[in-house]
Amino acid sequence: MTDRIVDFLRSRRPEGPCLVVDLDVVRENFRAFRHSMPDTRIFYAVKANPAPEILSTLAEMGSCFDCASVAEIEMALAAGATPDRISYGNTIKKERDIARAFALGIGLYSVDCEAEVDKIARQAPGARVFCRILCDGAGAEWPLSRKFGCEPEMAAGVLEHAYRNGLDAYGVSFHVGSQQANTEAWDGALATAAGLFRELAERGIRLRMVNLGGGFPTRYLRDVPGVPNYGQSILDAISRHFGNRLPETIIEPGRGMVGGAGIIKAEVVLISRKQADDPVRWVYLDIGKFGGLAETMDEAIRYPIRTLRDDGPSAPCVLAGPTCDSADVLYEKTPYPLPISLEIGDEVLIEATGAYTTTYSAVAFNGFPPLQSYVI
Protein backbone atom coordinates (compact mmCIF):
# COMPACT_ATOMS: atom_id res chain seq x y z
CA MET A 1 0.00 0.00 0.00
CA THR A 2 1.52 3.32 -1.06
CA ASP A 3 0.41 6.86 -0.34
CA ARG A 4 0.02 7.50 -4.05
CA ILE A 5 -2.48 4.62 -4.36
CA VAL A 6 -4.36 5.74 -1.23
CA ASP A 7 -4.60 9.27 -2.64
CA PHE A 8 -5.71 8.02 -6.04
CA LEU A 9 -8.50 5.89 -4.60
CA ARG A 10 -9.62 8.67 -2.27
CA SER A 11 -9.74 11.34 -4.95
CA ARG A 12 -10.91 9.33 -7.98
CA ARG A 13 -13.34 6.95 -6.22
CA PRO A 14 -13.52 4.57 -9.21
CA GLU A 15 -16.75 2.56 -9.52
CA GLY A 16 -16.45 -1.24 -9.48
CA PRO A 17 -13.43 -3.40 -8.78
CA CYS A 18 -10.13 -2.08 -10.11
CA LEU A 19 -6.39 -2.53 -9.95
CA VAL A 20 -4.18 0.47 -9.20
CA VAL A 21 -0.46 0.11 -9.96
CA ASP A 22 2.13 2.53 -8.57
CA LEU A 23 4.97 2.97 -11.08
CA ASP A 24 7.30 4.20 -8.34
CA VAL A 25 7.28 0.70 -6.87
CA VAL A 26 8.01 -0.83 -10.28
CA ARG A 27 10.98 1.54 -10.63
CA GLU A 28 12.27 0.60 -7.17
CA ASN A 29 11.97 -3.09 -7.98
CA PHE A 30 13.83 -2.68 -11.27
CA ARG A 31 16.62 -0.82 -9.49
CA ALA A 32 16.82 -3.53 -6.82
CA PHE A 33 17.27 -6.23 -9.47
CA ARG A 34 19.86 -4.19 -11.34
CA HIS A 35 21.73 -3.37 -8.16
CA SER A 36 21.70 -6.93 -6.82
CA MET A 37 22.59 -8.59 -10.11
CA PRO A 38 24.57 -5.95 -12.02
CA ASP A 39 25.97 -8.34 -14.62
CA THR A 40 22.63 -9.97 -15.43
CA ARG A 41 20.30 -8.72 -18.16
CA ILE A 42 16.75 -8.21 -16.91
CA PHE A 43 14.00 -9.46 -19.23
CA TYR A 44 10.69 -8.36 -17.70
CA ALA A 45 8.05 -11.11 -18.15
CA VAL A 46 5.44 -9.08 -20.03
CA LYS A 47 2.66 -11.58 -19.29
CA ALA A 48 2.73 -10.59 -15.59
CA ASN A 49 1.27 -7.20 -16.46
CA PRO A 50 1.50 -5.73 -19.98
CA ALA A 51 0.08 -2.29 -19.14
CA PRO A 52 1.67 0.15 -21.64
CA GLU A 53 2.77 2.51 -18.84
CA ILE A 54 4.67 -0.32 -17.12
CA LEU A 55 6.35 -1.39 -20.35
CA SER A 56 7.43 2.11 -21.31
CA THR A 57 8.72 2.86 -17.79
CA LEU A 58 10.82 -0.29 -17.85
CA ALA A 59 11.97 0.31 -21.44
CA GLU A 60 13.21 3.75 -20.44
CA MET A 61 15.15 2.28 -17.52
CA GLY A 62 16.88 -0.12 -19.87
CA SER A 63 14.93 -3.31 -19.24
CA CYS A 64 14.68 -6.10 -21.79
CA PHE A 65 11.43 -8.00 -22.34
CA ASP A 66 10.45 -11.68 -22.25
CA CYS A 67 7.43 -12.09 -24.54
CA ALA A 68 4.99 -15.00 -24.84
CA SER A 69 3.38 -14.08 -28.16
CA VAL A 70 3.68 -11.81 -31.18
CA ALA A 71 1.13 -9.48 -29.56
CA GLU A 72 3.42 -9.08 -26.54
CA ILE A 73 6.41 -8.48 -28.83
CA GLU A 74 4.45 -5.71 -30.55
CA MET A 75 3.58 -4.18 -27.17
CA ALA A 76 7.24 -4.18 -26.09
CA LEU A 77 8.26 -2.56 -29.37
CA ALA A 78 5.50 0.03 -29.03
CA ALA A 79 6.81 0.81 -25.53
CA GLY A 80 10.19 1.70 -26.99
CA ALA A 81 12.22 -1.50 -26.67
CA THR A 82 14.51 -2.31 -29.59
CA PRO A 83 14.25 -5.85 -31.05
CA ASP A 84 17.63 -6.86 -29.59
CA ARG A 85 16.12 -6.36 -26.12
CA ILE A 86 13.23 -8.77 -26.73
CA SER A 87 13.07 -12.56 -26.43
CA TYR A 88 10.30 -14.81 -27.70
CA GLY A 89 10.34 -16.90 -24.55
CA ASN A 90 7.39 -19.23 -25.13
CA THR A 91 8.49 -22.77 -26.05
CA ILE A 92 5.16 -23.24 -27.89
CA LYS A 93 5.03 -21.10 -31.03
CA LYS A 94 3.17 -21.37 -34.30
CA GLU A 95 5.59 -21.41 -37.20
CA ARG A 96 3.87 -18.41 -38.76
CA ASP A 97 4.28 -16.49 -35.49
CA ILE A 98 8.02 -17.19 -35.53
CA ALA A 99 8.09 -15.76 -39.05
CA ARG A 100 6.24 -12.66 -37.84
CA ALA A 101 8.60 -12.21 -34.89
CA PHE A 102 11.65 -12.61 -37.13
CA ALA A 103 10.24 -10.01 -39.52
CA LEU A 104 9.97 -7.68 -36.50
CA GLY A 105 13.67 -8.20 -35.85
CA ILE A 106 13.48 -10.68 -32.96
CA GLY A 107 16.58 -12.89 -32.80
CA LEU A 108 16.26 -14.76 -29.50
CA TYR A 109 13.95 -17.77 -29.07
CA SER A 110 13.31 -20.52 -26.53
CA VAL A 111 12.93 -24.20 -27.43
CA ASP A 112 12.51 -27.49 -25.63
CA CYS A 113 12.39 -30.01 -28.47
CA GLU A 114 13.72 -30.61 -31.98
CA ALA A 115 10.39 -29.86 -33.69
CA GLU A 116 10.50 -26.29 -32.32
CA VAL A 117 14.12 -25.95 -33.46
CA ASP A 118 13.06 -26.99 -36.97
CA LYS A 119 10.38 -24.28 -37.10
CA ILE A 120 12.90 -21.62 -36.01
CA ALA A 121 15.55 -22.86 -38.43
CA ARG A 122 13.05 -22.47 -41.26
CA GLN A 123 11.59 -19.10 -40.25
CA ALA A 124 14.36 -17.34 -38.30
CA PRO A 125 17.63 -18.56 -39.84
CA GLY A 126 20.68 -17.87 -37.72
CA ALA A 127 18.69 -16.89 -34.63
CA ARG A 128 19.91 -17.51 -31.10
CA VAL A 129 18.08 -20.25 -29.24
CA PHE A 130 18.20 -21.42 -25.66
CA CYS A 131 16.86 -24.77 -24.52
CA ARG A 132 14.65 -24.97 -21.46
CA ILE A 133 15.30 -27.84 -19.08
CA LEU A 134 12.92 -29.32 -16.53
CA CYS A 135 13.38 -28.27 -12.93
CA ASP A 136 11.48 -29.63 -9.92
CA GLY A 137 10.07 -26.36 -8.59
CA ALA A 138 10.23 -27.39 -4.92
CA GLY A 139 9.56 -24.42 -2.68
CA ALA A 140 7.38 -22.56 -5.19
CA GLU A 141 3.82 -21.50 -4.33
CA TRP A 142 2.33 -21.43 -7.83
CA PRO A 143 2.24 -24.97 -9.23
CA LEU A 144 4.95 -25.76 -11.73
CA SER A 145 4.08 -28.60 -14.06
CA ARG A 146 6.22 -30.49 -16.54
CA LYS A 147 4.67 -28.41 -19.31
CA PHE A 148 7.84 -26.53 -20.29
CA GLY A 149 11.31 -27.92 -20.75
CA CYS A 150 12.83 -31.32 -21.41
CA GLU A 151 15.07 -33.63 -19.44
CA PRO A 152 18.69 -32.43 -19.46
CA GLU A 153 19.91 -35.52 -21.38
CA MET A 154 17.55 -34.55 -24.18
CA ALA A 155 18.51 -30.86 -24.06
CA ALA A 156 22.04 -31.59 -25.26
CA GLY A 157 20.61 -33.21 -28.39
CA VAL A 158 18.17 -30.35 -28.95
CA LEU A 159 20.96 -27.77 -28.77
CA GLU A 160 23.21 -29.79 -31.06
CA HIS A 161 20.27 -30.10 -33.47
CA ALA A 162 19.94 -26.32 -33.43
CA TYR A 163 23.64 -25.88 -34.11
CA ARG A 164 23.56 -28.34 -37.01
CA ASN A 165 20.59 -26.48 -38.51
CA GLY A 166 22.33 -23.15 -38.69
CA LEU A 167 21.05 -21.66 -35.45
CA ASP A 168 23.15 -20.15 -32.69
CA ALA A 169 23.02 -22.61 -29.77
CA TYR A 170 23.17 -19.84 -27.21
CA GLY A 171 22.38 -21.40 -23.87
CA VAL A 172 20.11 -23.03 -21.36
CA SER A 173 17.06 -21.82 -19.46
CA PHE A 174 15.03 -23.13 -16.55
CA HIS A 175 12.43 -21.91 -14.13
CA VAL A 176 12.53 -22.69 -10.43
CA GLY A 177 8.78 -22.12 -9.99
CA SER A 178 6.81 -18.95 -9.46
CA GLN A 179 6.82 -17.30 -6.02
CA GLN A 180 9.93 -19.24 -5.04
CA ALA A 181 10.71 -18.67 -1.37
CA ASN A 182 13.97 -20.63 -1.32
CA THR A 183 16.94 -18.54 -2.45
CA GLU A 184 18.94 -21.78 -2.95
CA ALA A 185 16.44 -23.17 -5.47
CA TRP A 186 18.64 -22.18 -8.42
CA ASP A 187 21.58 -24.31 -7.29
CA GLY A 188 20.55 -27.70 -8.67
CA ALA A 189 19.49 -26.33 -12.04
CA LEU A 190 22.74 -24.35 -12.33
CA ALA A 191 24.70 -27.55 -11.71
CA THR A 192 22.77 -29.19 -14.53
CA ALA A 193 23.30 -26.18 -16.78
CA ALA A 194 27.04 -26.25 -16.15
CA GLY A 195 27.04 -29.95 -17.06
CA LEU A 196 25.33 -29.13 -20.34
CA PHE A 197 27.90 -26.43 -21.08
CA ARG A 198 30.65 -29.04 -20.64
CA GLU A 199 28.86 -31.69 -22.67
CA LEU A 200 28.19 -29.34 -25.56
CA ALA A 201 31.77 -28.06 -25.44
CA GLU A 202 32.91 -31.66 -25.98
CA ARG A 203 30.72 -31.69 -29.07
CA GLY A 204 32.43 -28.50 -30.25
CA ILE A 205 29.54 -26.20 -29.40
CA ARG A 206 30.16 -23.26 -27.10
CA LEU A 207 27.09 -22.29 -25.05
CA ARG A 208 27.40 -18.82 -23.51
CA MET A 209 24.18 -17.98 -21.70
CA VAL A 210 22.13 -19.18 -18.74
CA ASN A 211 18.59 -17.88 -18.48
CA LEU A 212 17.76 -18.05 -14.76
CA GLY A 213 14.04 -17.53 -15.36
CA GLY A 214 11.73 -15.93 -12.86
CA GLY A 215 10.48 -17.13 -9.50
CA PHE A 216 11.37 -13.96 -7.56
CA PRO A 217 8.53 -13.53 -5.10
CA THR A 218 6.10 -10.84 -4.10
CA ARG A 219 5.42 -10.37 -0.43
CA TYR A 220 1.92 -11.71 0.25
CA LEU A 221 1.12 -12.73 3.83
CA ARG A 222 4.52 -14.12 4.69
CA ASP A 223 7.86 -12.34 4.55
CA VAL A 224 10.05 -13.33 1.63
CA PRO A 225 13.79 -12.90 1.18
CA GLY A 226 14.85 -9.66 -0.50
CA VAL A 227 16.26 -9.40 -4.02
CA PRO A 228 19.86 -9.02 -2.70
CA ASN A 229 19.57 -12.43 -1.00
CA TYR A 230 18.53 -14.04 -4.27
CA GLY A 231 21.26 -12.20 -6.16
CA GLN A 232 23.99 -13.33 -3.76
CA SER A 233 22.78 -16.90 -3.58
CA ILE A 234 22.53 -17.21 -7.37
CA LEU A 235 25.93 -15.59 -7.92
CA ASP A 236 27.48 -18.02 -5.42
CA ALA A 237 25.89 -20.98 -7.18
CA ILE A 238 27.10 -19.79 -10.59
CA SER A 239 30.66 -19.43 -9.31
CA ARG A 240 30.43 -22.85 -7.66
CA HIS A 241 29.34 -24.61 -10.83
CA PHE A 242 30.97 -22.58 -13.61
CA GLY A 243 34.24 -21.66 -11.83
CA ASN A 244 35.87 -18.65 -13.40
CA ARG A 245 34.27 -19.16 -16.81
CA LEU A 246 31.13 -17.25 -15.90
CA PRO A 247 28.34 -17.39 -18.51
CA GLU A 248 26.20 -14.46 -19.56
CA THR A 249 23.00 -14.49 -17.50
CA ILE A 250 19.41 -13.40 -17.93
CA ILE A 251 16.59 -13.16 -15.40
CA GLU A 252 12.89 -12.93 -16.22
CA PRO A 253 11.12 -11.38 -13.22
CA GLY A 254 7.38 -10.79 -13.57
CA ARG A 255 5.70 -11.19 -10.21
CA GLY A 256 8.85 -9.91 -8.47
CA MET A 257 8.80 -6.75 -10.60
CA VAL A 258 5.12 -5.73 -10.47
CA GLY A 259 3.25 -7.93 -7.96
CA GLY A 260 3.92 -5.65 -5.01
CA ALA A 261 3.20 -2.51 -7.04
CA GLY A 262 -0.54 -3.06 -7.33
CA ILE A 263 -3.63 -3.06 -5.15
CA ILE A 264 -7.11 -4.21 -6.10
CA LYS A 265 -9.96 -2.23 -4.65
CA ALA A 266 -13.08 -4.35 -4.23
CA GLU A 267 -16.39 -4.23 -2.39
CA VAL A 268 -18.27 -6.59 -0.09
CA VAL A 269 -21.45 -7.52 -1.97
CA LEU A 270 -22.97 -9.93 0.55
CA ILE A 271 -22.24 -11.52 3.93
CA SER A 272 -24.33 -14.53 4.83
CA ARG A 273 -24.43 -17.82 6.65
CA LYS A 274 -25.64 -21.14 5.32
CA GLN A 275 -27.63 -21.86 8.46
CA ALA A 276 -28.69 -19.68 11.36
CA ASP A 277 -26.02 -20.91 13.81
CA ASP A 278 -23.20 -21.36 11.26
CA PRO A 279 -19.91 -20.22 12.83
CA VAL A 280 -18.37 -19.39 9.44
CA ARG A 281 -19.59 -16.40 7.45
CA TRP A 282 -19.57 -16.40 3.65
CA VAL A 283 -18.23 -13.11 2.34
CA TYR A 284 -18.85 -12.37 -1.34
CA LEU A 285 -16.76 -9.74 -3.11
CA ASP A 286 -17.34 -8.05 -6.46
CA ILE A 287 -14.17 -9.72 -7.77
CA GLY A 288 -13.38 -13.42 -7.90
CA LYS A 289 -11.56 -16.16 -9.73
CA PHE A 290 -12.90 -15.09 -13.13
CA GLY A 291 -12.50 -11.35 -12.59
CA GLY A 292 -8.74 -11.33 -12.08
CA LEU A 293 -7.98 -13.49 -9.04
CA ALA A 294 -7.28 -16.67 -11.04
CA GLU A 295 -4.19 -17.37 -8.97
CA THR A 296 -6.40 -18.30 -6.02
CA MET A 297 -6.93 -21.54 -7.98
CA ASP A 298 -6.50 -24.37 -5.45
CA GLU A 299 -5.95 -21.53 -2.96
CA ALA A 300 -2.36 -21.24 -4.27
CA ILE A 301 -1.80 -17.52 -3.78
CA ARG A 302 -3.17 -16.03 -0.56
CA TYR A 303 -3.38 -12.26 -0.86
CA PRO A 304 -3.23 -9.84 2.07
CA ILE A 305 -6.63 -8.18 2.48
CA ARG A 306 -7.18 -4.89 4.28
CA THR A 307 -10.41 -3.31 5.42
CA LEU A 308 -11.23 -0.16 7.36
CA ARG A 309 -12.27 -2.31 10.32
CA ASP A 310 -9.02 -4.23 10.88
CA ASP A 311 -8.60 -2.77 14.39
CA GLY A 312 -11.39 -4.94 15.79
CA PRO A 313 -11.52 -8.70 16.32
CA SER A 314 -11.70 -11.01 13.31
CA ALA A 315 -13.21 -14.41 12.58
CA PRO A 316 -12.72 -16.89 9.72
CA CYS A 317 -14.74 -16.44 6.53
CA VAL A 318 -15.20 -18.33 3.31
CA LEU A 319 -14.35 -15.77 0.64
CA ALA A 320 -16.05 -15.98 -2.77
CA GLY A 321 -16.52 -14.06 -5.99
CA PRO A 322 -19.69 -12.56 -7.46
CA THR A 323 -20.41 -14.94 -10.33
CA CYS A 324 -23.01 -17.69 -10.56
CA ASP A 325 -20.22 -20.26 -10.87
CA SER A 326 -19.87 -22.53 -7.88
CA ALA A 327 -16.12 -22.82 -8.58
CA ASP A 328 -15.76 -19.07 -8.03
CA VAL A 329 -14.66 -19.44 -4.40
CA LEU A 330 -11.34 -17.90 -3.36
CA TYR A 331 -10.59 -19.32 0.09
CA GLU A 332 -12.62 -22.10 1.69
CA LYS A 333 -10.31 -24.98 2.64
CA THR A 334 -8.37 -22.44 4.70
CA PRO A 335 -10.94 -19.80 5.66
CA TYR A 336 -9.76 -16.20 5.70
CA PRO A 337 -9.89 -14.12 8.92
CA LEU A 338 -11.86 -10.90 8.39
CA PRO A 339 -13.24 -8.39 10.89
CA ILE A 340 -16.37 -9.48 12.73
CA SER A 341 -17.77 -5.98 12.14
CA LEU A 342 -17.36 -6.22 8.33
CA GLU A 343 -20.50 -5.03 6.52
CA ILE A 344 -22.08 -5.28 3.10
CA GLY A 345 -20.86 -2.34 0.99
CA ASP A 346 -17.48 -2.12 2.76
CA GLU A 347 -14.43 -1.48 0.63
CA VAL A 348 -11.67 -4.09 0.79
CA LEU A 349 -8.13 -3.68 -0.53
CA ILE A 350 -6.43 -6.77 -1.90
CA GLU A 351 -2.70 -6.16 -1.77
CA ALA A 352 0.18 -7.37 -3.92
CA THR A 353 -2.07 -7.89 -6.93
CA GLY A 354 0.01 -6.09 -9.58
CA ALA A 355 0.95 -9.33 -11.37
CA TYR A 356 -1.20 -11.97 -13.05
CA THR A 357 -4.54 -10.30 -12.44
CA THR A 358 -5.79 -7.99 -15.21
CA THR A 359 -4.90 -10.26 -18.10
CA TYR A 360 -6.34 -13.37 -16.44
CA SER A 361 -9.71 -11.74 -16.07
CA ALA A 362 -12.51 -13.22 -18.14
CA VAL A 363 -13.77 -11.18 -21.05
CA ALA A 364 -17.39 -11.09 -19.84
CA PHE A 365 -18.27 -14.03 -17.61
CA ASN A 366 -21.75 -13.51 -16.13
CA GLY A 367 -21.80 -10.19 -17.95
CA PHE A 368 -19.19 -8.70 -15.60
CA PRO A 369 -16.62 -6.50 -17.38
CA PRO A 370 -12.91 -7.36 -17.20
CA LEU A 371 -10.87 -5.89 -14.36
CA GLN A 372 -10.30 -2.16 -14.80
CA SER A 373 -6.71 -0.99 -14.35
CA TYR A 374 -5.11 2.35 -13.48
CA VAL A 375 -1.35 2.84 -13.65
CA ILE A 376 -0.22 5.91 -11.76
250 binds a second copy (CB under 8 A): no
Footprint on residues 319-358 left by a second copy (CB under 8 A) = 320, 322-329, 332, 344-345, 358
Q: How far is the CB of 300 from a second copy (least distance, A)?
A: 9
Q: Give dist(CA 278, CA 294) in Å, integer.
A: 28
279 binds a second copy (CB under 8 A): no
Q: For residues 355 and 321, is the Cβ–Cβ distance under 8 A?
A: no
Among the listed ranges 24-32, 44-52, 229-237, 347-355, the one in contact with a second copy (CB under 8 A) is: 44-52
Q: How far is the CB of 90 from a second copy (least distance, A)?
A: 5
Footprint on residues 281-310 left by a second copy (CB under 8 A) = 282, 284, 286, 290, 294, 297
Smaller CB distance to a second copy: residue 1 or 103? Answer: 103
Q: If 0-12 CB within 10 Å is exposed, 13-18 middle and 19+ buried, where does residue 129 land?
A: buried
273 binds a second copy (CB under 8 A): yes
364 binds a second copy (CB under 8 A): yes
104 binds a second copy (CB under 8 A): no
Among the listed ranges 36-44, 137-145, 217-225, 303-311, the one in contact with a second copy (CB under 8 A) is: 137-145
Considering only 232, 271, 304, 314, the residue that binds a second copy (CB under 8 A) is 271
Show Cβ contacts of residue 115 under 8 Å, excluding neighbours closer than 6 positions: none
Number of residues that bind a second copy (CB under 8 A): 78
Q: Give dist(CA 108, CA 99) in Å, integer.
A: 13
94 binds a second copy (CB under 8 A): yes
Q: Give dist(CA 85, CA 262) in Å, integer.
A: 25
First to last CA, the chain: 13
150 binds a second copy (CB under 8 A): yes
Considering only 148, 174, 331, 336, the residue that binds a second copy (CB under 8 A) is 148
Footprint on residues 61-90 left by a second copy (CB under 8 A) = 67-72, 75, 89-90
The CA distances from residue 8 to 13, 50, 104, 351, in Å, are 8, 21, 38, 15
The CA distances from residue 92 to 70, 119, 132, in Å, are 12, 11, 12
Q: How far is the CB of 65 from a second copy (least distance, A)?
A: 11
The CA distances from residue 210 to 39, 127, 185, 196, 220, in Å, are 12, 16, 15, 11, 29
Smaller CB distance to a second copy: residue 36 or 353? Answer: 353
From the list 18, 67, 135, 324, the catalytic residue is 324
372 binds a second copy (CB under 8 A): no
Read off φ and ψ for residue 45, nearest 5 degrees.
-80, 100
Among the listed ranges 78-86, 115-123, 198-206, 225-233, the one in contact with a second copy (CB under 8 A) is: 115-123
Q: How far is the CB of 221 from a second copy (least distance, A)?
A: 21
Going by the DSSP 8-state scheme, the letter that residue 180 receives in this structure is: B
DSSP track, 332-360? EEEEEEEETT--TT-EEEEES-SSSSGGG
Q: For residues 54 and 33, is the Cβ–Cβ distance under 8 A?
A: no
Show Cβ contacts of residue 205 under 8 Å, excluding neighbours closer than 6 positions: 159, 160, 163, 169
Active site residue 324: yes
Among the listed ranges 162-170, 197-205, 240-248, 360-368, the one in contact with a second copy (CB under 8 A) is: 360-368
Q: How far is the CB of 44 from a second copy (least distance, A)?
A: 13
Among the listed ranges 182-190, 238-246, 346-354, 367-375, the one in contact with a second copy (CB under 8 A) is: 367-375
For the chain, give the longest Cα–Cα distance.
Answer: 74
Cα 308 to chain centroid distance, Å, stands at: 30
Smaller CB distance to a second copy: residue 36 or 361? Answer: 361
The bridge status of strand 281-285 relative to strand 40-45 is unpaired
Q: How far is the CB of 63 from a second copy (least distance, A)?
A: 17
Q: How far is the CB of 177 from a second copy (least distance, A)?
A: 8
Q: Which residues are catalytic?
A: 324
